[in-house]
Amino acid sequence: MAMFTSVLVANRGEIARRVFRTARELGVSTVAVHSTADASMPYVGEADAAVHLPGNAPGETYLRTELLIEAARRAGADAVHPGYGFLSENATFARAVEDAGLAWIGPPPQAIESMGSKIEAKKLMDAAGVPVLPRLSADDVTEAELPVLVKASAGGGGRGMRVVHHLEDLRSEIAAAEAEALSAFGDGTVFCEPYLATGRHIEVQILADHHGTIWAVGERECSIQRRHQKVLEEAPSPLVERLPSMRAELFAAARKAAEAIGYVGAGTVEFLADDSGRFYFLEMNTRLQVEHPVTESTTGLDLVALQFAIASGEALPAEPPAALGHSIEVRLYAEDPACDWQPQTGTLQRFHLGDVAEFGPGGPRSGLPWLRVDSGVVSGSEVSPYYDAMLAKVIVWGATRAEAATRLAAELSKAQIHGVRTNRDLLVRTLRHPAFLAGDTDTAFFDRNGLEELSRPLAEPAVEELCALAAALADAARRRGTAKVQKGLPSGWRNVPSQAQTKSYRVGDSTYEVAYRLTRDGPVVAGDVRLVDAGAERVLLELGGVRRAFDVAAYPGLVCVDSALGSVALKPVERFADPSAQVAAGSLLAPMPGTVIRVAVKVGDKVEQGQPLLWLEAMKMEHTISAPADGMLAELAVGPGQQVEVGAVLAVVQAAEGEDA
């Protein structure tokens, strides 16, 4: 079978860019598809050809089989790579691609079908001798079997998944999981299984060719999760490193799973393990995994190139290369830890890390930098409400696990990420935490070590105040630099001592009013801080005899200050507030653009603090809008099906007497 000449990636963002990188190296031309919202995204411009899919929602665009195949025909593609997510594990789509005479860069449709339902997959694996957890009937769950996990049969990524600790909550949680699964995957089927609160999430990378060779290409551990979504992945697994005999058993089980369904291509067999090394089949992902870069970094393989080769009929060597060193990947999300991790939208004003290998493979065998970034965005990109909130995967290789963790934490802490709030501080604190460094990384890591503490900003309040001073001094330098008259005089200079210059900034719930004064000798004095130099973009301050540099970037309504002490985003406080921008006390504002999917209350209802009032759907997830205090619903501004913009008033709660609005 000859290598194809042009590949359409039926996906978007980071994974599309990743596949394009390998295709270019192989001399294969590339075709992108894009929604209306994605028209200006980097992956579209990087493709040799691009086809517009009218609309924004996945159901209108990336989930439309007929549109994707028509796009491939129009652009002259002779192969389709599905990426991950969307239709990557849809057997109907795979068959349609093959029926259209296009090469399908993925496993056989029947293999996808056999693993497409987690319920049926577990039956198959049980029959093949792969250990599985028992499936529980929702009608027969007893108090003794709690807690249980409700899972979507057709998907993953934490969607359609709920942990149930109380029997009386089971029905409502199943209904919520069904609704979310239907929205995300087009299939609302869910099932129950025992919930292991402190398990290890271990997965094995599989590659299988058409000639009967099956590789188990190392294992990965993905135990550190929040709301059942992976946050950090690494290879090899700390647990398996501690229990060497476990690796051979895992690999044998993974190969047995692949053999049972006649698997061909790249895939991942996922297991849940306990600290003793016992493990149970969770699911098989019949596609390239999000966390595949850590395997590439430790083995030197290009897994996408191997997908291309296998789809072209090439045979794998008898054995895969041995792994070398350690690799860690973190998922950088646009989300606000201080607001219940709500996804963030808007302009990513700046996105910059150090010397990186974009889309890898990275690591010692590649000759590329040991820091790798796989991202669908660049400086200036718009973060849309329609898709997943992940900005980038940041991957590092090290000779040892400790070295990799130290390197990655340092690079993340120095990164310039302006315009949207992220989980960066959580990632850095996790990488530096003693429990993580000791390999104590089960699925209860955040529960045990305190998610709130781990997500606390790296910059302490004293640093925030120092950054506010740097922002004010940079602003003064900027204004003097653009002044029409007396440009050489510093702002606020007086021949005799006068009142200090002041400026206020807000960071979260805190407001900092900074004051500084010019003297005859030139330096600005603010408490015990001495100004060394100030420009519009860089300020040097001396505190207690220690000089520190602050990089300052100003945008409309936002100032970002980066230093070795941490990164701080400040909002300038206007001296005279715009009355039209004020909202009524007790107003609940939309935290992001989205669609109201249901409302649980009506005007005049009494509500309690924390009570769910309505639900928004954005970024393929449901988001609950709850009452901020006890009181009465005085106004309801939206209804089911209504689209809302960020900041729109959804409802107004009139606080009970004696309560703060």
Question: Are 461-572 and 579-655 in the same CATH fold?
Answer: no
Residue 661, pLDDT score: 44
Average pLDDT (433-440) is 98
pLDDT reading at 20 higher than 50 = yes
Calculate the dihedral angle through the C-alpha atoms of 418, 421, 424, 426, rounding to the nearest 10 degrees.
Answer: 160
pLDDT reading at 592 higher than 90 = no
Strands of the 162-164 sheet, one edge to the other:
162-164, 148-152, 190-194
Structure token digits, residue 403: 């070295």
pLDDT reading at 385 higher than 90 = no
CA distances from 597 to 155, 176, 255, 617, 625 (A): 21, 12, 43, 6, 11
- Contact present, 132 and 196 (Cβ < 8 Å): no
pLDDT reading at 394 higher than 80 = yes
Q: pLDDT-based confidence at 603, cuts 50/70/90?
A: very high
Average pLDDT (40-68) is 96
Average pLDDT (349-357) is 92
Mode of pairing for the β-strands spanning 350-352 and 346-347: unpaired
pLDDT in tens, 564-577: 999 999 999 987 66
pLDDT reading at 85 higher than 50 = yes
> Which class does domain 6-105 fall in?
alpha beta
Mode of pairing for the β-strands spanning 643-644 and 594-599: antiparallel
CA angle 247, 253, 255 (to 5 degrees): 100
User: Per-residue b/e over 221-253, b at no fewer than 16 CB within 10 Å?
Assistant: bbbbbbebbbbbbbbbbbbbeeeeebbebbbeb
Q: What is the CA radius of gyration of the chain?
A: 27
pLDDT reading at 588 higher than 80 = yes
* Residue (of 552, 400, 544) closest to 475 by Cα position: 552
Between 181 and 87, whose confidence is greater? 87
Lowest mean pLDDT among 207-221, 253-267, 350-364, 515-529: 515-529
Best CATH choice for the domain 200-454 from the list 3.20.20.70, 3.40.50.1100, 3.30.470.20, 3.40.50.300: 3.30.470.20
Phi-psi group of 650: left, alpha or beta (phi > 0 → left; psi -120 to 50 → alpha; rest → beta): alpha
So what's the architecture of 134-194 in CATH? Answer: 2-Layer Sandwich (3.30)
Mean pLDDT of the chain: 91
CA 661 – CA 37 distance, rounded (Å): 37
pLDDT reading at 593 higher than 90 = no
pLDDT reading at 196 higher than 80 = no
Residue 650, pLDDT score: 93
Average pLDDT (433-453) is 96
Residue 641, pLDDT score: 86
Question: 579-655 has which CATH code?
Answer: 2.40.50.100
Average pLDDT (291-304) is 96
pLDDT in tens, 102-113: 999 999 999 999
Residue 623, pLDDT score: 81
* Residue (of 302, 271, 273, 272) closest to 288 by Cα position: 302
* Residue (of 211, 209, 208) closest to 258 by Cα position: 208
Residue 619, pLDDT score: 66
pLDDT in tens, 304-327: 999 999 999 999 999 999 999 999
Lowest mean pLDDT among 120-134, 142-156, 433-447, 479-493: 479-493
pLDDT reading at 303 higher than 80 = yes
Residue 368, pLDDT score: 66
Q: Where in the chain are the domains?
A: 6-105, 134-194, 200-454, 461-572, 579-655
pTM for the predicted model, two decimal places: 0.86
Any bridge partners for residue 7, and if so which?
A: 30, 79
pLDDT reading at 519 higher than 70 = no
pLDDT reading at 489 higher than 70 = no
CA 289 – CA 307 distance, rounded (Å): 12
Residue 204, pLDDT score: 98
- Contact present, 527 and 511 (Cβ < 8 Å): no
CA 504 – CA 572 distance, rounded (Å): 6
Percent of the chain with pLDDT over 90: 70
- Contact present, 570 and 505 (Cβ < 8 Å): yes
> Which class does domain 461-572 fall in?
alpha beta
Residue 364, pLDDT score: 74
Helix (H) or strand (E) holding 247: helix 245-260
pLDDT in tens, 450-472: 999 999 999 999 999 999 999 99
pLDDT reading at 1 higher than 60 = no
- Going by the DSSP 8-state scheme, the letter that residue 315 receives in this structure is P
